[in-house]
A = this chain, B = another copy of it.
């Protein structure tokens, strides 16, 4: 695996406008602002882990775009590959749920500069120069035809340049429907370039046009089908979440290899969840970190699951945990105040 080389993350950068505390949207007249986006979250987490993370995107050439980039820089991400364009930032509004009321998100990302940027906007050979990995999620091509073309261009350039490709499923039927894109076809082309995929039985089913049961057997069958369909794929990782209530979850993870081998993490009991957004991205970053650091799969899946678990304790989209934070959580010897 490519050690100590940059990871390039490509995707849209979003502003999240969140009702304070457990209020419903605009119940009071304030919004808390976070910056996020599936691939940006991965970049931040990897930078916090001490890796060189580059973020490639297109943002608005105004105070909002600059502020969003500023948040990435703050957490150590190299944003030099980001282009600016005249237009609007993608937004999402969120009300954090409680008890039996789920969190709610209203997306407002149509017509963003990212969605409108042509595939020529980013110079992929330059961006990928010296990189070890390219990470992209299924949200990026779903945003529109131009991002879809750009995502394909990115993963294909990566393959040509010997940069490994990490892909996070994140199938969003709603986004695909909005512009009539053929999601499964496009995702198949991306997966054909991927070395590592974060997908579960639902994602595989959608991409391959099959239906797998939503259980352990279904997941295994889906993984096998994916390895068969995509011969370049070396690893598949996935988390499974059960929700006892809106703020009490259980989380476990699995890392599977082409040869049928699987490593499962411990199950994390997560009560008093603060913010679950970005947990999947934290898991992806944790997995990539394990691979880059050359850890064995057992440690990699445990580290990645612990990273995802920790994310639930932090407000915002970013998992701003260090390697030391994650390893202390894994050690689990003491939950008392650290002085």
Q: Is A30 an interface residue (CB 8 A)?
A: yes
Chain A 295-328: CB-based contact to B (< 8 A → 1; otherwise 0) = 0000000000000011011111000110001001
Chain A 231-273: CB-based contact to B (< 8 A → 1; otherwise 0) = 0000000000101111110000000000000000000111111
Instruction: Return chain B residues, CB-CB under 8 Å to A272.
Output: 98-99, 245-248, 272
Known: A30-B30, A75-B70, A107-B339. A269 touches B245 (CB 8 A): yes
Q: How many copies does the complex hold?
A: 6
Instruction: Check A25–B67 contact: CB distance below 8 A.
Output: yes
- Of B27, B68, B110, B325, the residue contacting A101 (CB under 8 A) is B325
Interface of chain A residues 58 through 80 with chain B (CB within 8 A): 62-64, 67-68, 70-71, 73-76
Instruction: Check B24–A100 contact: CB distance below 8 A.
Output: no
Starting from the known contacts A21-B315, A24-B320, A98-B312, 15 additional A-B residue pairs (CB-CB under 8 Å) come to A29-B34, A30-B31, A30-B33, A70-B76, A73-B75, A99-B271, A99-B313, A100-B268, A102-B338, A104-B337, A245-B270, A246-B272, A247-B272, A248-B271, A272-B272
How far, in angstroms, from A337 to B329 measured CA to CA in the complex? Answer: 25
Instruction: Return chain B residues, CB-CB under 8 Å to A270.
Output: 99-100, 245
Instruction: Check A320–B27 contact: CB distance below 8 A.
Output: yes
Q: Is A335 an interface residue (CB 8 A)?
A: yes
How far, in angstroms, from A101 to B100 measured CA to CA in the complex? Answer: 23
Instruction: Return chain B residues, CB-CB under 8 Å to A64.
Output: 25-26, 93, 106
How far, in angstroms, from A32 to B28 measured CA to CA in the complex? Answer: 9
How far, in angstroms, from A60 to B116 measured CA to CA in the complex? Answer: 23
Instruction: Return chain B residues, CB-CB under 8 Å to A325.
Output: 101
Instruction: Check A100–B310 contact: CB distance below 8 A.
Output: yes
